[in-house]
Structure 1
Amino acid sequence: MWKDRLSALAKDRLPAEAAETWIELFQPGIRLAFSGPGPRVARLGGNPALPPEMEWPGWPDNGPLNFIAEVDCAALPREFLSIPLPAEGTLLFFYFDGERQPGYPDPALLENIEGSRVIFVPAGTAVTERTPPADLDPYPSVDLFAEVVATAPEREHLLLDQTRTASGATLAEAVQTVLGPGRSGTDVFGELRWDMEKGPFHQIGGFASPVQGPVENEVAAEVLADSWRDPGFAAEAARWVLLAQIDSCQEADMCWGDVGMLYWVIRAEDLAAGRFEAARCTMQCG
């Protein structure tokens, strides 16, 4: 079963109540691996197939976006999808990779919403393979295959402060006994995942694998005028779900900051309505 390995590790490393409560929060994620028994479900790099009339996505005043990945919705193991993706069609992910761009802009601007794009191409749409604009080299093409894995909230995710064990402690409180002298916080949950499997952590759906803090919090802070101090911050963060994450990857010559990760998140209501243009991308690195 998809949750068995992480469940066993949690029961071995965490207090019993904390382990059982955390396991109840698990969601399946579709890990995009370099090999697998089924068909190819996604691809990193290469050239995208776009409708002939569609312009190459760009960031005004900065330049064209790099093509990162495509995902074949029909090939995904739908019974394990934690998010309502279309039954057919292709998702295309673009991002402004300043390290590969002439005229590299201020890195602080790279999380601007115009610095990334998600495009959905419905099944049956006429498309042609497109080469990138001049001075924009494509990443090497790497095929990816589906592997179902257990994902869970970790590293200060709001659910760790909102979910209580049978005795009434929050999950964040319940793990203090295993952290050791001088340590605090909820990194222990992330450490379990890192101990269980190695990257790269390319993934569709499920909980994100944050390099720093919760990606939902980062995006909520960006969209709220008063940021973390806004009384609606927790509710706003809870609206966002992971659409995809793409790890730094030697095979595709991708490196995000200091060997970090890209995360595309989207509000649940926008995802349900197929408004993929509303997705936002954020990057974390060590």
Structure 2
Amino acid sequence: MATHESRLANLARRHLPPDVAERWTSLIRPGVRLRVRDGGRRVGYLGGVPFLPADVAWPEWEGEGSLNFVASIDCGRLPANSLDIALPDSGTLLFFYYDPESAYLDGTEYHPTVGSWEPASQAGARVLYVPPGVPTEERDTPLDIEPYDYAPLVATPIATGPDWYHPEFRARCRDLSEDDLDFLDDHGNGDDFARALSAVRSHPSHQLGGHAHPIQSAVELEAAQSVLGPGAEWESVAEEARRWTLLAQIDSDREAGMRWGDLGTLYWLIRPEDLAARDFGASAFTWQCT
């Protein structure tokens, strides 16, 4: 991870003014990259079917239908000391999402989309935590949805940097010079830097913890919007966004037959205090595509 961190810092120094680069590199955080691979130490899998306790029902969005099973992560098999978020050191995380493309199988013409822009739609995404020692059983996929293809995952520690509009990055730059602030206000500068970062990132970009890799703008802002509602003032959204951190992102992946819109990515975010309390029901969901 040290090599990757140095690479990110060098990119920042090459593309950003010195003081801006210093603020950006100060926010570099560790994360775990998840890759589909048959060999190596398996830490979980995409698609297939989940293992659930007998008394836990398959997640549904009431009035809409069953959620699709996206991924299972065995927390006890993740690389040690590879994250700066307080994931459980054992047990299993299960991620579900209402995929409207799959729901078309029932012949209905319209199905709603899950997203931060409609807070009520958060019921269409779910994170379940199964503590260690709890008996589980393989659960068949409900008939109203189609399972994704099974794909085993291995994990690699990585370093991650914040998005151009990440609320904490912007907050740390408030006292910079007028020239630096003008540089930050130019969206084109952010695009150039994002392209440079993307060139050193492997794809698909499945990840736990660290900074998210948004396709559009900072996903923390979207998590805040899902809590405060679409009519919230910008200052309130920006401040609330600083409370949220990435839990997991799952990219479109051909190996698992997953395609979110036009090669999009799913994001689950959580507040550190909720993560510490193991309150995964308090997580927020959003997705983005090109």
Q: What is the Cα deviation at residue 152 of structure 1?
A: 1.2
Q: Measured at CA, do residues 34 and 226 of structure 1 come closer, stay the same or move farther in structure 2, by a change above 3 Å?
A: closer
What CA distance in whole angstroms lies between the structure 1 residues aligned with 2:31 and 2:184?
27
Q: Measured at CA, do residues 36 and 149 of structure 1 come closer, stay the same or move farther in structure 2, by a change above 3 Å?
A: farther
What CA distance in whole angstroms lies between the structure 1 residues aligned with 2:179 and 2:111?
39
The two structures have a TM-score, normalised by structure 2, of 0.88
Q: Which residue, 44, 66, 70 being the options, matches 1:64?
A: 66
Q: What is the Cα deviation at residue 198 of structure 1?
A: 3.3
Residues 19-61 of structure 1, C-alpha deviations (whole Å, 9 max, x = no match): 2331111001101012498511121001100001211111111
Q: What is the Cα deviation at residue 279 of structure 1?
A: 1.0
What CA distance in whole angstroms lies between the structure 2 residues aligned with 1:210 and 1:259?
12
The aligned counterpart of 1:26 is 28
RMSD, matched Cα: 2.5
Q: What is the Cα deviation at residue 5 of structure 1?
A: 2.0
The aligned counterpart of 1:74 is 76
Q: Measured at CA, do residues 92 and 69 of structure 1 come closer, stay the same or move farther in structure 2, by a change above 3 Å?
A: same
- Does residue 1:173 correspond to 2:175, yes or no? no
Q: What is the Cα deviation at residue 162 of structure 1?
A: 1.4
The aligned counterpart of 1:195 is 199
Residues 131-187 of structure 1, C-alpha deviations (whole Å, 9 max, x = no match): 11113221111111111222111131122321239x83389627459x7xxx54633
Letter of the structure 1 residue corresponding to residue 287 of structure 2: M
The two structures have a TM-score, normalised by structure 1, of 0.89
Q: Measured at CA, do residues 226 and 94 of structure 1 come closer, stay the same or move farther in structure 2, by a change above 3 Å?
A: closer
Task: Find the residue that maps to 2:247 and give its secondary structure.
Answer: strand
What CA distance in whole angstroms lies between the structure 2 residues aligned with 1:262 and 1:215?
10
Q: What is the Cα deviation at residue 237 of structure 1?
A: 0.8
In the alignment of these two chains, the number of paired residues is 281
The sequence identity of aligned pairs, in percent, is 42
Q: Measured at CA, do residues 60 and 172 of structure 1 come closer, stay the same or move farther in structure 2, by a change above 3 Å?
A: farther
The aligned counterpart of 2:149 is 140
- Does residue 1:251 correspond to 2:255, yes or no? yes
Letter of the structure 1 residue corresponding to residue 55 of structure 2: E
Q: What is the Cα deviation at residue 109 of structure 1?
A: 4.9
Segments of structure 1 that go 5 or more residues without pairing to the other structure are none
Letter of the structure 2 residue corresponding to residue 237 of structure 1: A
Segments of structure 2 that go 5 or more residues without pairing to the other structure are none
Letter of the structure 2 residue corresponding to residue 216 of structure 1: E
The aligned counterpart of 2:6 is 4
Q: Measured at CA, do residues 36 and 239 of structure 1 come closer, stay the same or move farther in structure 2, by a change above 3 Å?
A: farther
Letter of the structure 2 residue corresponding to residue 280 of structure 1: A
Residues 58-108 of structure 1, C-alpha deviations (whole Å, 9 max, x = no match): 111111100000111011123121210111000000000110112364444
What CA distance in whole angstroms lies between the structure 2 residues aligned with 1:98 and 1:252?
17
The answer on whether the counterparts of 1:41 and 1:75 sit within 8 Å (CA) in structure 2 is: yes
Q: Measured at CA, do residues 89 and 105 of structure 1 come closer, stay the same or move farther in structure 2, by a change above 3 Å?
A: farther
The aligned counterpart of 2:42 is 40
Q: More displaced, 115-124 or 133-142?
A: 133-142
Residues 238-258 of structure 1, C-alpha deviations (whole Å, 9 max, x = no match): 111110000011110101111
The answer on whether the counterparts of 1:154 and 1:187 sit within 8 Å (CA) in structure 2 is: no
List structure 1 runs of 4+ shifted beyond 6 angstroms: none
The answer on whether the counterparts of 1:27 and 1:206 sit within 8 Å (CA) in structure 2 is: yes
What CA distance in whole angstroms lies between the structure 2 residues aligned with 1:126 and 1:175?
55
Q: What is the Cα deviation at residue 196 of structure 1?
A: 1.2
- Does residue 1:276 correspond to 2:280, yes or no? yes
What CA distance in whole angstroms lies between the structure 2 residues aligned with 1:10 and 1:231?
27
Q: Measured at CA, do residues 9 and 226 of structure 1 come closer, stay the same or move farther in structure 2, by a change above 3 Å?
A: closer
The answer on whether the counterparts of 1:203 and 1:246 sit within 8 Å (CA) in structure 2 is: yes
Q: What is the Cα deviation at residue 230 of structure 1?
A: 5.4
Residues 197-231 of structure 1, C-alpha deviations (whole Å, 9 max, x = no match): 23111000001100111111112122214644154
